[in-house]
Amino acid sequence: MKSDEIIEKIRSKLKESDPARRTVVNTFQFNFTDADGILIKSMVFDFKALDIYEGSAASADAQVTISDEDFYLVGTKQKSFQEILQQEKAKIDGDEEAINKMLEKFRINSKN
């Protein structure tokens, strides 16, 4: 997947973070699709356990469906997540506020 490098950057930041100082303690399910909307891979971003892994979360706080390409564009700050949402290229089920908090924490919610 094109966005694997973005996921690895998030994983590295997560491992470097101080568990006592973390502000995001949610679990998120990300479903990555190809350009045609076909599921490629599901990833769990588990900020409670400080882990990111391939698979499904039984009790995710929120679920995001986004194309691999669009996640890459957000992760490389070519587009903001808000732009992707406004263009209806991503779907959030669950706690949208928690998703935005996580994106801001990892600075992948803005183009700066």
Q: Are 102 and 96 in contact (CB under 8 A)?
A: no
Q: What are residue 39's DSSP bridge partners?
A: 33
Report the predicted TM-score, pTM, of the whole model to 2 decimal places. Answer: 0.86
Domains delineated in the chain: 2-103 (3.30.1050.10)
> Six-digit token pair at 65?
């469906």
Per-residue tens of pLDDT for the chain, all 112 residues: 999 999 998 888 888 888 788 778 899 999 999 999 999 999 999 988 889 999 999 899 999 999 999 999 998 889 988 899 999 999 999 998 888 888 777 665 455 4
Question: How many CB atoms are located within 10 Å of the residue 46 CB?
Answer: 18
DSSP string, 33-77: E-TTS-EEEEEEEETTTTEEEES--TT-SEEEEEEHHHHHHHHTT
